[in-house]
């Protein structure tokens, strides 16, 4: 069942209220869509700005600064993050944004020839479809299949596929301590040096990449890291491309 959760502006009064909203979202077990309003007071501030600017009684910059200050006030008490301004001087060729997902899990199936034997992936897909498990992505080698799934589906998928042992697979394991990081931008597949900069930035903070998928899309590359290193990894990429 899909659950829709709506939070109005009154739910976003300060940093503490942001934590409360986050806890409510994380405690919701169903698959969910989260809809959020602007921070408390922002809608009124925008309306006031439009009225005064149209009446030629105010400068746009003063309202932009006020809106920015409201948002920055919500970062109080949190570890340092990355603030990206329109006039940043970084080399942003290729990379336009960085996204992440902490609600994924990895299911690994190992066995002789599982990556190229006809019908293996089809049979696995049918089993997971019967269990209503959605497959986010599959990465293959000759002896290993890696399925990226929603974290809450991981145990169910593991139990469903265990019956394939030892006929098709010899080993089956799962990892629910991972986060997915995606870098997005036009021409990533053809622009030279982009991936080298991404992974060099990550190596400089001492983090190992668990799995990489690149080339399937011209505009995105994603990879997996241990969840506890997610903040370090995203910050490292930001420093490289949005200093």
Q: Using alpha carbons only, give the angle 151, 154, 157 rounded to the nearest 5 degrees.
A: 150
CATH 3.30.70.260 residue ranges of the chain are 106-174
Which residues, 6+ apart, have CB-to-CB distance to 145 below 8 Å?
Answer: 108, 109, 110, 114, 115, 120, 121, 124, 138, 139
pLDDT at 92 > cutoff 70: no
State the Rg of the chain over Cα: 22
Q: Which pLDDT tens digit goes with each residue over 105-132?
A: 999 999 988 888 899 999 999 999 999 9
Question: What pLDDT score does 107 carry?
Answer: 96
220 alpha carbon, distance to own chain's centre: 12
What is the average pLDDT score of the chain?
Answer: 85
Following CA atoms 186, 187, 188, 194 in sequence, which dihedral angle do they give, to the nearest 10 degrees?
A: -100
Instruction: Supply the CATH classification number for the domain 106-174.
Output: 3.30.70.260
Question: What pLDDT score does 166 carry?
Answer: 81
Instruction: Supply the CATH classification number for the domain 97-101+179-241.
Output: 3.30.2130.10
Section 68-92 average pLDDT: 64
22 or 129, which is more confident = 129
CATH 3.30.2130.10 residue ranges of the chain are 97-101+179-241
Question: What pLDDT score does 57 carry?
Answer: 65
| Angstrom distance (rounded) from CA 178 to CA 100 | 11
| Angstrom distance (rounded) from CA 104 to CA 100 | 10
Q: Which pLDDT tens digit goes with each residue over 153-211?
A: 999 999 999 988 888 889 999 999 999 999 988 778 778 888 899 999 999 999 999 99
Section 45-56 average pLDDT: 80
For 7-16, 85-94, 142-151, which range has the lowest pLDDT when averaged over its residues? 85-94
62 or 236, which is more confident = 236
Question: What pLDDT score does 53 carry?
Answer: 77
């Amino acid at each position: 069942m899909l659950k829709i959760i709506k939070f109005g502006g009154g739910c976003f009064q300060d940093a503490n209220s942001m934590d409360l909203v986050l806890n409510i979202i994380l405690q919701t077990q169903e698959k969910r869509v989260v809809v959020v309003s602007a921070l408390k007071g922002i809608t009124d501030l925008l309306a006031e700005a439009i009225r005064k600017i149209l009446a030629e009684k105010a400068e746009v910059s003063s309202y932009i600064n006020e809106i920015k200050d409201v948002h920055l006030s919500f970062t109080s008490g949190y570890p340092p993050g990355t603030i990206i301004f329109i006039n940043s001087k970084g080399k942003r060729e290729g990379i336009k944004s960085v996204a992440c997902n902490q609600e994924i899990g990895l299911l690994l199936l190992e066995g002789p020839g599982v990556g190229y034997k006809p019908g293996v992936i089809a049979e696995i897909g049918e089993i997971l479809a019967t269990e209503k498990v959605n497959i986010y992505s599959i990465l293959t080698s000759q002896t290993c299949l890696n399925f990226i799934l929603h974290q809450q589906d991981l145990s169910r998928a593991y139990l469903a596929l265990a019956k394939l042992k030892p006929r098709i697979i010899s080993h089956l394991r799962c990892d629910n301590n991972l986060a997915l990081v995606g870098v997005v931008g036009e021409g990533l597949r053809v622009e030279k040096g982009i991936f080298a900069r991404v992974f060099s930035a990550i190596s400089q903070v001492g983090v190992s990449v668990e799995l990489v998928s690149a080339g399937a899309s011209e505009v995105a590359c994603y990879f997996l890291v241990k969840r506890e290193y997610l903040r370090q990894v995203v910050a490292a990429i930001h420093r490289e491309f949005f200093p």
